[in-house]
Amino acid sequence: MNKPTVAIVGRPNVGKSTIFNRIVGERISIVEDIPGVTRDRIYSSADWLNHEFNLIDTGGIDIGDEPFLEQIRQQAEIAIDEADVIIFLTNGREGVTAADEQVAKILYKTKKPVVLAVNKVDNPDMRDMIYDFYSLGFGEPFPISGSHGLGLGDLLDEAARNFPEPSEEEIEDDVIRFSLIGRPNVGKSSLVNVFLGEERVIVSDIAGTTRDAIDSDFISDGQKYKVIDTAGMRKKGKVYESTEKYSVLRALRAIERSDVVLVVLNGEEGIREQDKRIAGYAHEAGKGIIIVVNKWDAVEKDEKTMNRMTENIRDNFQFLDYAPIVFVSAKTRQRVFQILDTVKRVSENHALRIQSSILNEVIEDAVAMNPAPSDKGRKLRIYYMTQVQVKPPTFVVFVNDPEIMHFSYERFLQNKLRESFGFEGTPIRLLTRKRS
Ligand code: GDP
Ligand code: GDP
């Protein structure tokens, strides 16, 4: 579950985004496109042979108007904070520059493994270019070519050799892991503080504190929970913590490690474009989702206000029609603990496994009631359905010809699954395959 993370650092134009795209390749999302979600190309999952990992292109995190050297310094610090292994990228055609030395100086401060790569070594004759780079002090440089895809195998082998041992938390399956995401100041930390029953979340900022240590564990009603840290929830202080790209990165990383994601809105301010983008990430990741409207104490209300807000949310977040909505106040604690009951329920739905026999009864009934339409004279035959995965529940329906499965009929089958089994709070996925 906890995949290792690799970050690419280096001054501009050495080829970071080229390498990132090479390694990540074309990843196809199996969920429909959501308006407003621009695919973030600074962070992605990737795999190399048997290794799965996450990759960050720190070059894509721009730190406002800071001067050039300050930008690369902070990008290197982000890599140190976020990564398990750092790829330090340089340009063989230009040799070692002062900016490379700056990056090196910052990377000396970390104990995390750094793998030095020299890019733009486009053919074997150019390998002599790498010797200069021993002077940076990170051992043997790996010659690569991003544009030609050369040397990446050796580089990633070396990165993988340095991956940490899998941590123990992977075996705690009785813990529900959740995160709170949302714009700054919607009340995420305040809500966490209520859960933890403390005045504030105390976080140690000692060097070497791993990122897992800033997650918080607690028990409520006999159930164990882990709240995953996101940007701005730990001690603020680093300049880059307030940049938009960095908070998106932190949110994506928190989402990935969660079973359930709370999308927190500010009831006082209503819905903003950024809220939709953030919610889109959680939906895309296939996590359980709850919409939490906070600061409800500060809203002037009559008996219709809650309904109006609900309608407004449903209008704006049509792709989250399965997500329950909870109206709370971190300040007065009104209904805050109802969030946890909902988290528990949603996490059960997210991990729900339906027996094949029951599943097929439902599907047979559905097909009998509403037979699949023919397309260009061909008739779709539905043979059977099986659940292939949980978190989120994923179903495969076997048919005679997937090409004539219409989107609207897929939707109909999905709705039948929801009608029969609930799945409140969790996305479900339906894949169509040819019966072989
Ligand atoms: P970044 O600023 O570090 O992300 O660098 P980019 O990935 O944007 O690359 C900067 C420039 O170098 C682009 O024009 C790339 O096409 C070029 N480039 C990247 N990798 C290679 C390579 O392996 N060989 C050559 N010759 N050019 C490359
Ligand atoms: P975060 O940036 O999302 O973690 O937001 P914080 O938890 O730091 O809260 C931002 C501000 O909103 C603080 O001044 C809080 O005191 C205030 N706040 C948080 N929750 C509530 C609430 O339920 N009602 C009211 N009136 N204020 C709140």
For residue range 251-281, what is the model confidence (pLDDT) as tens digits? 888 898 899 999 999 999 989 888 888 888 8
* pLDDT exceeds 90 at position 101: yes
Residue 37 Cα to ligand 2 middle (Å): 26
* pLDDT exceeds 50 at position 216: yes
> Which amino acid residue places its CA nearest to atom 9 of ligand 2?
187
* pLDDT exceeds 80 at position 232: no
> Which amino acid residue places its CA nearest to atom 19 of ligand 2?
187
Q: From the CB of 329, is ligand 2 less than 6 Å away?
A: yes
Is 58 a known ligand-binding residue?
A: yes
Is 50 a known ligand-binding residue?
A: no
Which ligand number lies closest to the CA of residue 8? 1
Q: Which CATH class is domain 175-350?
A: alpha beta
pTM for this model (two decimals):
0.82
Q: From the CB of 120, is ligand 1 less than 6 Å away?
A: yes
pLDDT of residue 205: 42
Q: From the CB of 16, is ligand 1 less than 6 Å away?
A: yes
Is 137 a known ligand-binding residue?
A: no
Candidates 66, 42, 74, 425; CA nearest to 251 is: 42
What are the pLDDT digits (tens) for 41-83? 788 888 887 788 999 999 888 777 788 888 889 999 999 989 9
Question: What is the rounded distance in angstroms from the CA atom of residue 320 to the CA atom of residue 284?
Answer: 10
For residue 239, name the pLDDT band (cuts at 50, 70, 90). Answer: confident
What fold, for 356-434?
GMP Synthetase; Chain A, domain 3 (3.30.300)
In the chain, what percentage of residues exceed pLDDT 90? Answer: 61
pLDDT of residue 231: 57
Is 221 a known ligand-binding residue?
A: no
Angle between helices 98-107 and 68-82 (to 10 degrees): 30
Q: From the CB of 15, is ligand 1 less than 6 Å away?
A: yes
Q: Where in the chain is the domain with CATH 3.40.50.300?
A: 5-161, 175-350
Measured from the CA of 12, which atom of ligand 1 is nearest? 2
* pLDDT exceeds 50 at position 188: yes
pLDDT of residue 324: 98
pLDDT (mean) for 313-326: 95
Is 64 a known ligand-binding residue?
A: no
* pLDDT exceeds 50 at position 302: yes
pLDDT of residue 148: 92
pLDDT (mean) for 352-364: 95
In the chain, what percentage of residues exceed pLDDT 70? Answer: 89
* pLDDT exceeds 80 at position 2: no
Question: What is the rounded distance in angstroms from the CA atom of residue 106 to the CA atom of residue 128?
Answer: 26
- Written in H, E and C, the secondary structure of the chain is CCCCEEEEECCCCCCHHHHHHHHHCCCCCCCCCCCCCCCCCCEEEEEECCEEEEEEEHHHCCCCCCCHHHHHHHHHHHHHHHCCEEEEEEECCCCCCHHHHHHHHHHCCCCCCEEEEEECCCCHHHHHHHHHHHHHCCCCCEECECCCCECHHHHHHHHHHCCCCCCHHHHCCCEEEEEEECCCCCCHHHHHHHHHCCCCCCCCCCCCCCHHHHCEEEEECCEEEEEECCCCCCCCCCHHHHCHHHHHHHHHHHHHCCCEEEEEEECCCCCCHHHHHHHHHHHHCCCEEEEEEECHHHCCCCCCHHHHHHHHHHHHCHHHCCCCEEECCCCCCCCHHHHHHHHHHHHHHHCCCCCHHHHHHHHHHHHHHCCCCEECCEECCEEEEEEEECCCCEEEEEECCHHHCCHHHHHHHHHHHHHHHCCCCCCCEEEEEECC
> Which amino acid residue places its CA nearest to atom 19 of ligand 1?
15
pLDDT of residue 173: 76
Is 231 a known ligand-binding residue?
A: yes
What are the pLDDT digits (tens) for 201-215? 444 444 334 444 468
Which ligand number lies closest to the CA of residue 60? 1
pLDDT of residue 13: 92
Q: Which of 196-200, 268-272, 310-314 has the lowest mean pLDDT?
A: 196-200
Which ligand number lies closest to the CA of residue 59? 1
For residue 119, name the pLDDT band (cuts at 50, 70, 90). Answer: very high
ipTM for the complex shown: 0.86
> Which amino acid residue places its CA nearest to atom 10 of ligand 1?
13
Q: From the CB of 71, is ligand 2 less than 6 Å away?
A: no
Which ligand number lies closest to the CA of residue 90? 1
What are the pLDDT digits (tens) for 371-402? 888 877 888 999 999 999 999 999 999 999 99
pLDDT (mean) for 130-139: 96
Better pLDDT: 48 or 153: 153
* pLDDT exceeds 60 at position 321: yes
pLDDT of residue 347: 97
pLDDT (mean) for 119-131: 91
pLDDT (mean) for 339-364: 96
5-161 CATH choice from 3.90.1150.10, 3.40.50.11610, 3.40.50.300, 1.10.10.10: 3.40.50.300
pLDDT of residue 145: 96
Q: From the CB of 166, is ligand 2 less than 6 Å away?
A: no
Better pLDDT: 249 or 391: 391
What sign does the CA torsion over 419, 424, 425, 430 have? negative
Q: Where in the chain is the domain with CATH 3.30.300.20?
A: 356-434
Burial class (CB in 10 A: 0-12, 13-18, 19+), 412: middle
pLDDT of residue 209: 41
Quick one: tokens of 199? Answer: 């005045």
What is the pLDDT of the chain when averaged over all its residues?
Answer: 87
